[in-house]
Amino acid sequence: MPYATLSDVTDRAPQIRLGGTGGMDVTKAERIVMNVNAQVDSVLKGLGYQIPVTGTQSIELLKDIVVQGSIAQILKAMFYGIKNPDDVGANEAWREFTGKLKALVDPDNPMTLPDAVVIDVAVKDTAEISSGFTYSMEEGDYFQPTRNQVF
């Protein structure tokens, strides 16, 4: 079960238009949201959490993270190569998304998932998210995490 759905994303960001003239294809938008869910699961697995996370409080925290990452990637895909005010929103959403992922792995001040099951604590000390993230997209593309993805 995903932490967030396309409906959660559009509820938070009504500027995301789906279908019709000027809107993003619904199937592509859903794939973006599913990829962000998978990306978050990948980070959590590296931190030693049992996947999928099932604790109610943790799911709410993860929903927020997935929604932010999805907003950023959908807006970037919708307006790639077009000077648009929503680009500022996409960049801010991306900063918030990566900031929360960094907080999950920060050994000095980690954000924890209060009711999630940790199955491998030793892995948690080795995870790292760097500050630099660059990506390029063509119109309609979506980000797909890779095994060695750097945030």
Average pLDDT over residues 39-46: 91
Please, are residues 72 and 94 in contact by the beta-carbon 8 Å criterion?
A: yes
Average pLDDT over residues 7-18: 92
- Residue ranges of the domains in the chain? 6-124
pLDDT at 46 over 90: no
pLDDT at 142 over 60: no
3-state helix, strand, coil split of the chain in percent (to 5) is 50, 5, 50
In this predicted model, what pLDDT tens digit does every residue of 70-100 receive, in sequence order?
Answer: 999 998 888 765 555 555 677 788 888 888 8
Higher confidence at residue 102 or residue 146? 102
Q: Residue 17 and residue 138: Cα distance in Å, rounded?
A: 18
In this predicted model, what pLDDT tens digit does every residue of 116-130 receive, in sequence order?
Answer: 888 876 444 444 444
Give the pLDDT confidence score for residue 133 in this predicted structure. Answer: 41
* Average of per-residue pLDDT values in the chain: 78
Give the pLDDT confidence score for residue 88 in this predicted structure. Answer: 60
